[in-house]
A and B are shown apart, each in its own frame.
Chain A
Amino acid sequence: MTVIANTLIVITISVGVLFTLVTMIGILRLPDVYTRAHAASKSTTFGVLSILLGVFFHYWLKEGLFSIQLLLAIVFLFITSPIGGHLMGRAAYISGVEKSPLTVGDELEEVVEEAKRKARPRPEID
């Protein structure tokens, strides 16, 4: 039983550390803000989730403490982190951050141009 518990804890925490590390490498290597948003907003979620899960297993199986707060932290992370990623990407796109030249297609450009044109106030004629 102790062996199983130890294996579970070690595996979850190492997976978490691995994915957090990969996120960091991704932020350094990827070319533009949108591709970095991929690495930043999601692999971290998965990494932090795994680490929290490992801590939860540690306290539950070894110390006998069933920590609800850690589970709540996982749920809150899941709810908030995609919204953060979406808002950063959207704000970057609308304020006109350059895409990397590798980008092969863009179906959003016209839509945002149209919306900006509508939102811009008409120049006064006097």
Chain B
Amino acid sequence: MAFQILLNVFIAVIWMLINSSVSATSFIVGYIIGLLLIVLFRRFFKQRLYIGRLWSATKLFLIFLKELTLSNISVLMVVLKPDLENIQPMIFALPTELEHDWEITLLSSLITLTPGTVVLYVSDDQSTLYIHAIDVDDVDEAIHSIKNTFEKAILEVSRS
């Protein structure tokens, strides 16, 4: 991925030199031309195109913003409930398929930032996250929704 971006910048610089005009405009034009060339020559790269990975990262960010807003509102409802005797906190285990360190860090940061869940402990073999949930009606449903939104999106970003 880094190699493709470097190659793209290199093509843009070459385009600036060919036109002998060193300006932001010609850099952008050269970058777009380089992007087209990289898309055309995609079968020579071992990894997938970096533009696709960028797109899935954007999608992950949008999912995150949506979840953040929705679940902040749900915590607001919990806090402002007249009787707090009815909440059911629980610590549950979430098995994860992610392998790299940065993926697990990202997943636990996202889980912690969406209210309703805080990651308390990552098991030593990094295969399970222990999560404290503030009000759990159905643990399976919570696990299912985390797996379906965040883990799927992170897997899509890191897929080579």
* B113 pairs with A81, CB closer than 8 A: yes
Assess A29 versus B120: contact at CB under 8 Å? Given A38-B134, A81-B113, A111-B130: no
Further pairs besides A34-B89, A41-B118, A108-B91: 10, Cβ < 8 Å:
A35-B87, A41-B112, A43-B75, A46-B69, A81-B113, A100-B89, A102-B89, A105-B136, A108-B130, A111-B121
Residue positions of A touching B, CB distance < 8 A: 19, 22, 25-26, 29-32, 34-35, 37-39, 41-43, 45-46, 78-79, 81-83, 85-86, 89-90, 93, 99-100, 102-109, 111-112, 115
B8 at the interface (CB under 8 A from A): no
Closest to B132 in A: A34
* A82 pairs with B113, CB closer than 8 A: yes
B40 at the interface (CB under 8 A from A): no
* B113 pairs with A78, CB closer than 8 A: yes
* A38 pairs with B72, CB closer than 8 A: no
* B118 pairs with A85, CB closer than 8 A: yes
State A115–B124 Cα separation when bound (angstroms).
9
30 contacts between A and B (CB under 8 A): A19-B72, A22-B79, A22-B80, A25-B79, A35-B89, A37-B132, A38-B75, A38-B118, A38-B132, A39-B79, A41-B112, A42-B72, A42-B113, A45-B113, A46-B115, A78-B113, A79-B109, A81-B113, A82-B112, A82-B113, A85-B112, A89-B119, A89-B120, A90-B120, A103-B91, A105-B92, A105-B139, A106-B91, A107-B92, A107-B93
Q: Which A-B residue pairs are the 7 nearest by beta carbons?
A: A82-B112, A26-B79, A108-B130, A82-B109, A105-B90, A42-B115, A107-B93
Please name all residues of chain B whose beta carbon is closer than 8 Å to the beta carbon of A79 when the two chains form the complex.
109
* A108 pairs with B121, CB closer than 8 A: yes
Contact code string B116-140 (vs A, CB < 8 Å = 1, else 0)? 1011110110000010101010010
State A104–B84 Cα separation when bound (angstroms).
14
Assess A104 versus B132: contact at CB under 8 Å? Given A38-B75, A89-B120: no
B68 at the interface (CB under 8 A from A): yes
Closest to B75 in A: A43
* A104 pairs with B76, CB closer than 8 A: no
Closest to A94 in B: B121
